Amino acid sequence: MHLMNADLHCHSNVSDGTLTPEALATRAHAQGVELWSLTDHDELAGQQRAREAALALGIDYLAGTEISVTFINQTVHIIGLGINPQDAALLAGLAATRGGRRERALQMAAELARVGVPDTFEGALRYVGNPDLISRTHFARYMVEAGVCSDTHSVFRNYLTQGNPGYVPHQWARLGDAVRWIVGAGGVAVIAHPARYRFSANEEYALFTEFIAHGGRGVEVVTGSHSLNDQIRYAQTALEFGLLASRGSDFHSPGESRTELGKLPDLPGTLTPVWQALAHRVQRAAGAAASAPAST
């Protein structure tokens, strides 16, 4: 089987990335990506631009999004791939999911001011590309600029996360709702970066079994935040639960993201890639307008 350079997870400045959808497409092309999906958090506003830019460069495209979900008091991310970006129920669900972000951001700023970090709401807003989508990442970028921490990873180690200043608990979408919005829009639902969650074994089992019961079909095995051990572990999970496997960098920004677009290990050959089940949903480039450099 031909090993496809598929990158099915990344973010533009329509959510918390720093590049435009067009610049991401150009970067994906330069890195030899053959099948791409832009998966902005809780938002589809970049989809048409990403698709058009990808097809013009000769890259096949799958419409995508990454939905914020609350499951057993933790935030879990569910990726939808191959969705119809005009689906009314999906659009309404995403609008409701991102609805509380401004209020949450104001509370985060108030908490940070209490520990001596002022003006973070205004500061974060200067990094926001989409006023509907102010995220912790924008706070982190401003706090680096303000000299509070040396890089965004250290912001998340010391602030904005559970148990640290500036963390504001938030109720995101329900797991079953997110999966149904994706499936109803013709897509496949995928559990994003499972190694990042802090569930007990029983809670993780509940996540996977409930996800499947609601119609979820995939899990991210190879992704920017997974170690080799995580890949091995979740390849096994995919086989145990009969799930399709996905591959995506979770690229956000040059210099900030650990993983470059398309620069990931291949999926283990024992797994069924999620794109096999989505062949009918891929927007195909008519014929490469420019040839991609050979992937290394």
Judged by CB under 6 A, the residue of 16, 34, 40, 220 near ligand AMP is 16
- Give the integer Cα–Cα distance in Å for 25 and 38: 9
Q: What interhelical angle do 101-114 and 136-145 show, nearest 10?
A: 40
Q: What are the counts of helices (DSSP H) followed by strands (DSSP E) for the chain?
A: 10, 8
**What H or E segment, with its residue span, contains residue 120?**
helix 120-125
CB of 192 to Mn ion, least distance (A): 5
CB of 11 to Mn ion, least distance (A): 5
- Give the integer Cα–Cα distance in Å for 183 and 189: 7
Q: Output b/e per residue, 80-89; b: 16+ Cβ within 10 A.
A: bbbbbbebee
# chain residues binding ligand AMP, by CB under 6 A: 10
Judged by CB under 6 A, the residue of 21, 31, 38, 41 near ligand AMP is 41
The answer to whether residue 220 forms part of the interface with ligand AMP (CB under 6 A) is no
CB of 135 to ligand AMP, least distance (A): 3
- Which positions touch Mn ion (CB under 5 A)? 16, 66, 77, 192, 250
Of 55-63, 84-92, 151-159, 235-243, which part binds ligand AMP (CB under 6 A)? 151-159
- Residues numbered 107-146 forming contacts with ligand AMP, rule: CB under 6 A: 135-137
The answer to whether residue 180 forms part of the interface with ligand AMP (CB under 6 A) is no
- Give the integer Cα–Cα distance in Å for 104 and 133: 11
Nearer Cβ to Mn ion (257/292): 257
